[in-house]
């Protein structure tokens, strides 16, 4: 994921967490808020409830990979908050959950909307 597509500052995370719409899934919670940019930015929050450093990093890698294969509409700031089971699942399961959450928020690009409706 490119650096320009990431949320990096505390203020950016705070803005999304305070004003974003909330979408709840089995493995993650997603908060999203529109931005005024021509790209979508994504951030991840993985607490110690998920596990030690190895498990937290694995959860972030799985989330990043599932987003890499999923197309997003432009102009959104999105934060994924991993749940405790996030580090123990396969990448395909996380991808299904991520597509479901993005579909609920209507942030999926047109090409991916058709595939996400088949998995729900």
pLDDT of residue 15: 94
Please name the residues in contact with 42: beta carbons below 8 A apart, sequence gap of 6 or more.
1, 5, 6, 7, 67, 72, 77, 78, 79, 80
Model confidence, pTM:
0.87
- 97-107 per-position pLDDT tens digit: 999 999 999 99
Give yes or no for residue 56 having a pLDDT over 60. Answer: yes
- 28-34 and 76-82 beta bridge pairing: antiparallel
Give yes or no for residue 115 having a pLDDT over 60. Answer: no
* Residues 72/9, Cβ–Cβ less than 8 Å: no
């Amino acid at each position: 994921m490119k650096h320009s597509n990431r949320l990096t500052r505390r203020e950016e995370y705070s803005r999304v967490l305070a004003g974003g719409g909330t979408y709840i899934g089995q493995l993650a919670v997603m908060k999203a808020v529109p931005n005024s940019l021509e790209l979508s930015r994504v951030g991840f929050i993985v607490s110690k409830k998920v596990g030690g450093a190895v498990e937290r990093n694995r959860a972030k890698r799985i989330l990043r990979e599932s987003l890499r294969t999923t197309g997003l509409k432009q102009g959104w700031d999105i934060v994924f908050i991993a749940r405790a089971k996030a580090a123990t699942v396969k990448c395909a399961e996380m991808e299904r959950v991520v597509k479901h959450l993005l579909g609920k928020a209507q942030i999926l690009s047109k090409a991916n909307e058709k595939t996400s409706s088949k998995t729900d």
